[in-house]
A = this chain, B = another copy of it.
Amino acid sequence: MGIVERKEREREEMRRLILGAAQKLFIANGYEKVSIRNIADEIEYSPATIYLYYKDKNELLYALHQRGFQKMVEEFQPILTLTNPFEKLVAMGRSYIQFAVANPELFDLMFIMTAPMETLEKEDWEEGDRAFNLLMQVVQECIDANVFRKQDPQVAAMMIWSGIHGYTALFLRKRMHMFPECDRQQIMDDAFQLFCDTIRRGL
């Protein structure tokens, strides 16, 4: 009897339905319009039903954050074919920023909002770990190619990620509002370029 299997499938189907509705609302109207009631309306179920498939809103946001990582990893795929390790690194940084500017709300969910992270209690952040390891690998390639001096790739990767993440976070969270609006993008680009040049020379 395949009943339990069918039920399992239906359950998975329902989780996808909920998540899909959440994603739709999220992309169309931004984070603040994604309420349990709005999701419930969208799929024509009662709000309480959602709690039968996700423990709470944070868990749902974590699942959405996972979809964000999937999308990001897909977009990063072409870069991995580059042969020059430093160029690869720069391309990754540029893509990180581009992804953030093109999908600000999704990026926010992935790297800034605390809500989705509240679900991880003891176990670690898998999506982050995979993405970080990808970066670390490229840093190692740069070290092997003598672009960077010999050092701990973990620390170097952390430093690079922080550097790139810095503007992105400041920009998205409106912390470049001391500059006139027209200049902001330019300053960000210049600062990114300068960061690349600096680690090229100094790391």
Contact = CB atoms under 8 A, between A and B. Distances in A.
A169 B128 contact: no
A167 interface: yes
B132 A177 contact: no
B113 A195 contact: no
A151 interface: yes
Given A158-B167, A202-B201, A177 B112 contact: no
Sorted nearest first, the 10 A-B pairs with minimum C-beta distance are A202-B202, A162-B166, A166-B166, A201-B202, A129-B178, A198-B202, A125-B177, A117-B174, A158-B191, A162-B167
A51 interface: no
Given A166-B166, A177-B125, A178-B128, A190 B111 contact: no
A194 B151 contact: yes
Copies in the complex: 2
Given A195-B159, A198-B198, A175 B111 contact: yes
A163 interface: yes
B202 A155 contact: no
Contact of A125 (B178, B191, B197): B178
Interface of A: 111-114, 117, 120, 124-126, 128-129, 132, 151-152, 154-156, 158-159, 161-167, 169-170, 173-175, 177-180, 187-188, 190-191, 194-195, 197-203
Contacts of A203: 194, 198, 202
A23 B70 CA distance: 40
Contacts of A167: 158, 162
A16 B9 CA distance: 58
A9 B126 CA distance: 56
B124 A159 contact: no
